[in-house]
Amino acid sequence: MDLRSHAWLHLDQRGLPVLNALDAEILALMQRVSQQVILPRYRNLASGEIIEKAHDDLVTIADREAEDMLAEGLARIDSSLAMVGEEAAHSDEAVLDHLSGDCWIIDPIDGTHNFAHAKPPFGILLAQASGGLAQSGWIYDCLSGRFCSAHRSGGAFVNGERIAAKTTGEPLPVAAISLIFLDPERRKSVERHISTHYRTVDIPRCAAEQYPRLVLGQNDVSFFERTLAWDHAAGALFLQEAGGRIARPDGSEYRVDEHGRTGLLGAASPDLWDDLARLYAQL
């Protein structure tokens, strides 16, 4: 099944956007998982249902149940693709080997830290990749129902309507800079060489929210230290297809199968990306 052949949106008789067949299936799956598994446990988790996998890295019973349900649903859409889920990969690193081939990529709850602390934002991230590159990506906000989709060479969409990335237009560009996974010295370097050139804002701790902010004119630039496929495959493709830019600091394309590599720069426009890359090079 060539998923890219389903990547085109069409209009109904009134000229309103209609989801293509694949996007409609993915949205229905995301909505079902959100309504049946995720939202019933939102602000309703027992202490034993939240586990710290590593320092400041949480997983909940909802993450695990949601990943199982998403994997089952994706297998019904195309069972020939391997499954790369965040929680499955945490249990068995061999799962990551599938990222170089044809696979589904699943982040059952992106923003688990927020979810576990009973606050927004959080969402579901899904992607389909081939040969180490994301071919399609989907972002679902469980609370608002916002549905973002993107297809390689097929554009980016929000709730079925094609969208182009826009900047904030502010004199001092707005930057959301994640310092969470930086060591103290690197954090100081970022604050010295980069933060002073922007109006910095809090990060949402949720890629499912950060990438839409770069497209919808809320943030101008952002960069990430950790670049795990389930966090970035869908959002990076969405930003790129919307006309923004996402790339490694050296300008190379983001690949989902480079799971040991760090550093990723995103911007609402190529010019803003160039400015951020020049500053980043000073670190």
Report the pLDDT value the prediction gives residue 270, as an integer from 0 to 100. 98
Asked whether the beta carbons of 234 and 125 are under 8 A apart, the reply is: yes
6 band by pLDDT with thresholds 50, 70 and 90: very low
Identify the domain containing residue 18 by its residue range: 3-162
Q: Residues 71, 190: one domain?
A: no
Q: Residues 125, 221: one domain?
A: no
Whether pLDDT at 138 is above 80:
yes
State pLDDT tens for residues 66-84: 999 999 999 999 999 999 9
CA atoms within 13 A on the CB side of 126: 28
Q: How many domains does the chain have?
A: 2
Question: Mean per-residue pLDDT for 50-71?
Answer: 90
DSSP secondary structure string for all residues of 238-276: HHHHTT-EEE-TTSPPP-TT-TT---EEEESSHHHHHHH
Rounded-to-integer distance, Cα 83 and Cα 70, Å: 10
Nearest to 29 by CA among 120, 104, 92, 135: 104
**CATH number of the domain bearing residue 146:** 3.30.540.10
12 band by pLDDT with thresholds 50, 70 and 90: low
Residue 17 forms part of a structural domain: yes
Q: Residues 190, 150: one domain?
A: no
Q: Which of 110, 142, 162 is the last residue of a domain?
A: 162
Q: Residues 10, 132: one domain?
A: yes
**β-pairing verdict for 221-224 and 199-201:** unpaired
Q: Residues 107, 31: one domain?
A: yes
Report the pLDDT value the prediction gives residue 62, as an integer from 0 to 100. 97
Residue 167 forms part of a structural domain: no
Report the pLDDT value the prediction gives residue 3, as an integer from 0 to 100. 40
DSSP 3-state of 182 = coil
Rounded-to-integer distance, Cα 176 and Cα 56, Å: 19
Residue 22 forms part of a structural domain: yes
Percent of the chain with pLDDT over 70: 93
Report the pLDDT value the prediction gives residue 1, as an integer from 0 to 100. 36
Q: Residues 236, 137: one domain?
A: no
Whether pLDDT at 250 is above 90:
yes
Q: Residues 148, 180: one domain?
A: no
Percent of the chain with pLDDT over 90: 80
State pLDDT tens for residues 170-227: 999 999 988 777 888 888 888 888 989 999 998 999 999 999 999 999 999 999 989 9
Residue 271 forms part of a structural domain: yes
Report the pLDDT value the prediction gives residue 15, as an integer from 0 to 100. 55
Q: Which of 128, 162, 196 is the last residue of a domain?
A: 162
Q: Which residue type is seen at 144?
A: S
Rounded-to-integer distance, Cα 8 and Cα 10, Å: 7
**CATH number of the domain bearing residue 193:** 3.40.190.80
Q: Residues 142, 66: one domain?
A: yes
Question: Mean per-residue pLDDT for 229-255?
Answer: 98
Q: Residues 274, 241: one domain?
A: yes
- Averaged pLDDT score across all residues of the chain: 92
Q: Residues 138, 12: one domain?
A: yes
Report the pLDDT value the prediction gives residue 117, as an integer from 0 to 100. 95
Q: Residues 131, 189: one domain?
A: no
More confident residue, 7 or 239: 239
Q: How far is CA 66 from the centre of its chain?
A: 16
Residue 168 forms part of a structural domain: no
Q: Residues 196, 270: one domain?
A: yes
Nearest to 247 by CA among 232, 234, 265, 231: 265
pTM strictly above 0.85: yes
CA atoms within 13 A on the CB side of 152: 13
Q: Which of 127, 162, 197 is the last residue of a domain?
A: 162
